[in-house]
Amino acid sequence: MAGVAKTLTLANGITIPSIGFGTWQTPDGDIAAESVKNAIEAGYRHIDTAQAYGNEAGVGEGIRMSGIDRSELFVTTKLTNDNHTYELTKSSFKKSLEDLGLDYVDLFLIHWPRPLRFMDNWQRANEETWRAMEELVDDGRIRAIGLSNFHRHHIDALLQTARIKPVVNQIRLCPGCTQDELVNYSRECGMMPEAYSPLGTGKIFNVDEVKAMADRYGKSVAQLCIRWSLQMGFIPLPKSVNADRIRENLDVYDFEISAEDMNILTGLTECAGGAPDPDNMPF
């Protein structure tokens, strides 16, 4: 069993499984439910969804179908962009719990720092939103709160008024898209980097160099990239709706990528796309 932990500890002391099951672009209903159930059966204990994915109900159904004890799972959801007010944070979070069929979530994130609707008053909107999220922590409805797609200036603004510190920044991270400065700054501020699109939303499968390296290790491209993410100290959130691939993506704890190959993967600049600009998103 080579060198990476299967669970990590966030800055507020709670443990988090080091690989999460991503559900972005997973359709709601049977597909979401089946894939979440398959993921839990395969051994995932960390499920990542979002209000904006529109699949919280299917994800919740999958959790129930798996029959797993709630206490064994780590469930994340995220506040969608139109909801950055105190009231809407509270009411939409309540709806998320209802859709998921849960009475708490482990992690709740602000999905984007600067929604179109709050383009000119995003600092104030995030301050209000965060206050609502802190109260939900106080009420026992959320175990940890964090950020997604936040850059340094968004983090700094939020930290000016935050009573509870964010413990995660979920950003796009895959070979060739490493956002080094942001990762370092997030860590300095006490946040663990989570990697969404760890397979470059599928684009990494077209990169010959990655395929050749995966062959050398006797592993698939997906396994190599997920392993790279773990060795980088990220929490990868690979998405799949296919039972075989779901299993494959968790089978990454039995090999180690050499330092030289880690550098090669890291240096494949934007081979599977770059990071979004969160100050200019069209939603």
Site residues for ligand A2P per CB under 6 A = 22, 197-202, 205, 220, 222, 238-242, 245, 248-249
H or E segment and range at residue 140:
none
- Kindly tell me which of 139 and 209 has the beta carbon lying closer to ligand A2P: 209
- Kindly tell me which of 129 and 240 has the beta carbon lying closer to ligand A2P: 240
Cβ of residue 249: shortest distance to ligand A2P, in angstroms? 5
Cβ of residue 122: shortest distance to ligand A2P, in angstroms? 26
- Kindly tell me which of 83 and 220 has the beta carbon lying closer to ligand A2P: 220
- Kindly tell me which of 198 and 278 has the beta carbon lying closer to ligand A2P: 198
The residues carrying an active-site annotation are 53
Cβ of residue 226: shortest distance to ligand A2P, in angstroms? 9
Cβ of residue 72: shortest distance to ligand A2P, in angstroms? 23
**Nearest-angstrom CA–CA distance, 229 and 20:** 12
- Helix axes of 208-217 and 221-231: crossing angle, nearest 10 degrees: 90
**Nearest-angstrom CA–CA distance, 201 and 66:** 26
Q: Where are the strands (E) in 20-166, listed by range? A: 21-22, 46-48, 74-79, 105-110, 142-148
**Nearest-angstrom CA–CA distance, 72 and 149:** 27
Cβ of residue 189: shortest distance to ligand A2P, in angstroms? 25
- Kindly tell me which of 21 and 118 has the beta carbon lying closer to ligand A2P: 21
**Nearest-angstrom CA–CA distance, 133 and 30:** 30
Compute the residue count for the chain: 283
- Three-state SS annotation for 177-243: ECCHHHHHHHHHCCCEEEEECCCHHHHHHHCHHHHHHHHHHCCCHHHHHHHHHHHCCCEECCECCCH
HSE, side-chain direction, 13 A CA sphere, residue 272 = 29
